[in-house]
Amino acid sequence: MKVVIIGGVAAGTKVGAKLKRENPQDEVVIYTKGSDISYAGCGLPYYIGGTIEEEEELIVNTPKKFSALTGVQVHTNSEVVSVDKLAKTIVVNAEEKIEVSYDKLVIASGAESFVPPVEGTSLQGVFKVRTPKDAIDTRKYIDERGCKRAVVIGGGFIGLEVAENLVQKGLSVTVVDMASQLMPNIFDKEMADYVRRELQKKGVRIMTSTELKGISGTVVATGVETGAGMIPADIVMMAVGIRPATQFLNDTGIEMFKGTILTDQYHRTNVEDIYAVGDCALVTNRITGERQWSAMGSTANIAGRQLALNLSGEQSEYAGCLGTGVVHLFEGLNGARTGLTEEQAAAAGFDVVSVVSVINDKAHYYPDADSFIVKMIADKASHRLLGIQVIGSGAVDKMADIAVTGISMKAKVEDFITMDFAYAPPFSTAIHPFAAACGILLNKMEGKFDSFTPAEYAAGKAKDYRMIDAHPAPTIAGVEWFDLLHSEEAAKKYNKDEKLLLVCAKGKRGYLIQNRLRSYGFTNVKVLEGGKYFNVLKKTIPAGKKLPATEIKRVKGLGCLQDKRYDNIFNVRVITKNGKITTKEHHIVAEAAEQFGSGEITMTTRLTLEIQGVPYENIEPLIAFLNENGLETGGTGSLVRPVVSCKGTTCQYGLIDTFGISEKIHERFYKGYHDVTLPHKFKIAVGGCPNNCVKPNLNDLGIIGQRMPMFDLSKCRGCKNCQVVNNCPVHATSLENGKLYVDTQACNDCGRCANKCPFGVSAEYQNGYKIYIGGRWGKKVAHGQALDKLFTSEEEVLDTVERAILLFRNEGITGERFADTVNRLGFEYVQDKLLHAQIDKDTILKKVVKGGATC
């Protein structure tokens, strides 16, 4: 018998080799288009990344070696261009038109990368990943051009493997996919979203629901045009999918669906003596019996082997595929799946139940122990296991393979629970993780475990539930903690019919607390599957607690700023006057944070303290507690903000009493002007010397301590080693013609040279203050400008501060910062007003002003 095989990679070589082993007398001939056969397509991404170092390692067998080993004749660079089913011949190569006859014809022509019909795909730097040449060319291009930025089009298994390898090579990578999730049809969305978050943590930028519009560049690719904008790229990897390589069969009458060959369970096509296996053929799904395209090396090999047996005379039926797959995404991130996803199972008509569990992958004390995230899908009525998806750093394939075995044998979830799986600490857990996951699913099916799946939670099903922190110690900011060790006491805080959502680390402790609460008569307690480990926790909105905007604004005026992650959690600002508080006040703030907040305190850049994670209902008691102890909250709105001061009073360079003056500013303008609305916030800072540690000149008004030397140059003796010059940090002084020379423009009046001259040249100086106006920091930076005057008394300074505030209130426009007012009115005009003009305080204070501060 002469068997001709079209295509010589996974399926074709498997059919040929096995058939020759079964029936050595058969003549088996492979015609394949490329120059390589039997290559490791699955290893291509790892060649790009460098894990597989040498090109040769990608080639499993050369044609010569393969022929010698198997007895199969191989013709490479031989493209089959047509098939004549009546004459039972094929034609090889369009030019030479070599006619070859067959008794049996096996089509194993596989698939080709799909290249979307957009502009720019033929530019240099755009690569596919299907053949060894693709991978070799890609690596060479990256190395030769020193590529830094890559865009991978397609977020399936292959796209992500390529992304990982490009990251390994040091490129910054963006993955673009048209679908709304990564790995569609492979993982359900919540599992894919977990992978997405993990990949993002590794620095991969992921853009889903993003359409590819084209590749930009003239000769070489320079970027990718997408529905979400242009992404610059030095290299573009196409991994959008594959298309069956079957165009040459179009006139043969071989039945196909979208170009993929229909076969029966013996891999026969509808045409006698013509068979098809591998990526060019459709198989059936073992669970649903529906046709499925299983473009996998595993399926190609299994089907190829079986076809060989059938060709040699056996009658071996292909039982169907399960879509099993396993992928290494990054160090510590493997994924595996088999069977139906939840979506596919529902579409196939099953009454689906699923659970996501996070379980130990081996004995928890063993050094590299980690977790498996397992999603199990079953049929509610029959308990039949339908599918599994697993993510973890360990042997996820083991979990998938157990499921493959069970699903193939139509096992029920409970069948696995008592199976005698292997256990030793380095490998597994005493109750095998697979059995543990089955136990959780069974509990759920039997109503012993009542939960929200992560998908339900993400869809907002728990929005009326009050979240309870079920960790061993308080962990979720702003969420009430349930102490399992004192559960009776802890349970008293809640009504027995209240909707409670227990969230622990992975789900287990939540289950224990649920059990306990149920035994106390609670009726509405749910557990969040996968806990904090798997879910992105959203705002907790206890029923009826969503706050109106007016209330949020009101408490903001009290210094309570909403934590953007939650609707009813706030960070409360405690005013520290000038950044200096006593130990007693420290204790009070700490106690307040512990009693009313999450126990955390942050320092703002303007030296106020923020008590974190204060639930709305704790705001009033917290403020009352602070007030009782002489502390206050605030520091928001279109008002004079708390003053910021450096430690100049105690600093070796400090020239003024910064604490003293800032305390006066606090009393007179923060407190005294507390009800005086301004066009915007007004920030003041006091620095002890021109070193500017608190950046006074980047405030609406800044005060800087000064010491202005009064040089008496007549006393200068022109010493070789001048101490005035030596001590000047800004080199404003020098010796010119043997005498001291002072560049007064450069001198910033730091006073370091004061008294440094042994002959009294710098013995006299004047202490004072410089005032800067119109500075600001933030998204629009402006440097304040100094008023042309050395202020010599605190009173003068305070008076000028007041004039500035009043001028701003009187002449500023709602929404503009003082910097804008100064710019609009002109510095000279403002300076004149601050230094000389009469200001009618009473009239200005009576004026109605609308504030424009948003933060």
Ligand X SMILES: Cc1cc2nc3c(=O)[nH]c(=O)nc-3n(C[C@H](O)[C@H](O)[C@H](O)COP(=O)(O)OP(=O)(O)OC[C@H]3O[C@@H](n4cnc5c(N)ncnc54)[C@H](O)[C@@H]3O)c2cc1C
Under the rule (CB under 6 A), what is the footprint of ligand X?
6-7, 9-12, 31-34, 41-42, 44-45, 79-80, 108-111, 129-130, 158, 245, 248, 278-279, 295-298, 300
Q: Could you give the CA distance from residue 45 to residue 265 in angstroms, rounded to a whole number?
A: 33
Task: Write out the two tokens for 475.
Answer: 């962990």
Contact between 839 and ligand SF4 by CB under 6 A: the answer reads: no
For the bound state, the minimum distance from the C-beta of residue 107 to ligand X, rounded and expressed in Å, comes to 9
Number of residues in the chain: 855
Q: Which of 646, 698, 797, 805 binds ligand SF4 (CB under 6 A)?
A: 646
Q: Could you give the CA distance from residue 617 to residue 622 in angstroms, rounded to a whole number?
A: 9
According to DSSP, the β-strands at 601-603 and 609-615 are antiparallel
Q: Of the two residues 175 and 716, which places its CB atom closer to ligand SF4 in the complex?
A: 716
Contact between 643 and ligand SF4 by CB under 6 A: the answer reads: no
Q: Of the two residues 297 and 852, which places its CB atom closer to ligand X in the complex?
A: 297
Report CA Rg, the chain. 38
Q: Which of 482, 653, 673, 682 binds ligand SF4 (CB under 6 A)?
A: 653
Q: Of the two residues 321 and 656, which places its CB atom closer to ligand X in the complex?
A: 321
- Angle, helix 433-445 to helix 396-408, in steps of 10 degrees: 60
**Longest distance between any two alpha carbons in the chain, whole Å:** 120
For the bound state, the minimum distance from the C-beta of residue 767 to ligand SF4, rounded and expressed in Å, comes to 12
Q: Of the two residues 136 and 844, which places its CB atom closer to ligand X in the complex?
A: 136
From the list ligand SF4, ligand X, none, partner contacted by residue 130 (C-beta under 5 to 8 A by kind): ligand X
From the list ligand X, ligand SF4, none, partner contacted by residue 654 (C-beta under 5 to 8 A by kind): ligand SF4
**Residue that the structure tokens 């079209």 belong to:** 6
- Window of 375-383, 510-518, 602-610, 727-735 that interacts with ligand SF4 by CB under 6 A: 727-735
From the list ligand SF4, ligand X, none, partner contacted by residue 44 (C-beta under 5 to 8 A by kind): ligand X
Q: Which of 61, 284, 612, 748 binds ligand SF4 (CB under 6 A)?
A: 748
From the list ligand X, ligand SF4, none, partner contacted by residue 361 (C-beta under 5 to 8 A by kind): none
Q: Of the two residues 42 and 693, which places its CB atom closer to ligand SF4 in the complex?
A: 693
Q: Of the two residues 111 and 274, which places its CB atom closer to ligand X in the complex?
A: 111
From the list ligand X, ligand SF4, none, partner contacted by residue 417 (C-beta under 5 to 8 A by kind): none
- Angle, helix 794-811 to helix 827-835, in steps of 10 degrees: 130
Q: Are 717 and 738 in contact (CB under 8 A)?
A: no
Q: Could you give the CA distance from residue 151 to residue 220 in angstroms, rounded to a whole number?
A: 14
Give the per-residue contact string, 663-692, with ligand SF4 (x = CB under 6 A; - = no).
Answer: ------------------------xxx-xx
Would you call 168 helix, strand, or coil by DSSP? helix
Nearest to 320, CA basis, from 350, 281, 356, 358:
281
For the bound state, the minimum distance from the C-beta of residue 736 to ligand SF4, rounded and expressed in Å, comes to 11
Report in angstroms the alpha-carbon separations of 59 from 10, 37, 39. 12, 8, 4
From the list ligand SF4, ligand X, none, partner contacted by residue 300 (C-beta under 5 to 8 A by kind): ligand X
Residues 687-726 that bind ligand SF4 (CB under 6 A): 687-689, 691-693, 709, 716-719, 722-724
DSSP for 600-644?
A: -EEE-TTS-EEEEEEEGGGHHHHHHHHHHTT--B---SSSBPPPE
Q: Could you give the CA distance from residue 844 to residue 852 in angstroms, rounded to a whole number?
A: 18
Q: Could you give the CA distance from residue 293 to residue 470 in angstroms, rounded to a whole number?
A: 44
For the bound state, the minimum distance from the C-beta of residue 690 to ligand SF4, rounded and expressed in Å, comes to 7
Give the per-residue contact string, 750-769, with ligand SF4 (x = CB under 6 A; - = no).
Answer: xxxx---x-x-x--------
Task: Write out the two tokens for 185.
Answer: 């049809």
Task: Give the binding-site size for ligand SF4 (rule: CB under 6 A).
Answer: 37
Query: Which distant-in-sequence residues (6+ apart) come within 8 Å of 343 by Cβ?
Result: 188
Would you call 423 helix, strand, or coil by DSSP? coil
* C-alpha neighbours within 13 Å on the C-beta side of residue 125: 27
**Residue that the structure tokens 């009473």 belong to:** 842
Q: Which of 304, 406, 648, 679 binds ligand SF4 (CB under 6 A)?
A: 648
Binding interface with ligand SF4 (CB under 6 A)? 646-648, 651, 653-654, 687-689, 691-693, 709, 716-719, 722-724, 727-728, 730, 732-733, 740, 742, 747-753, 757, 759, 761
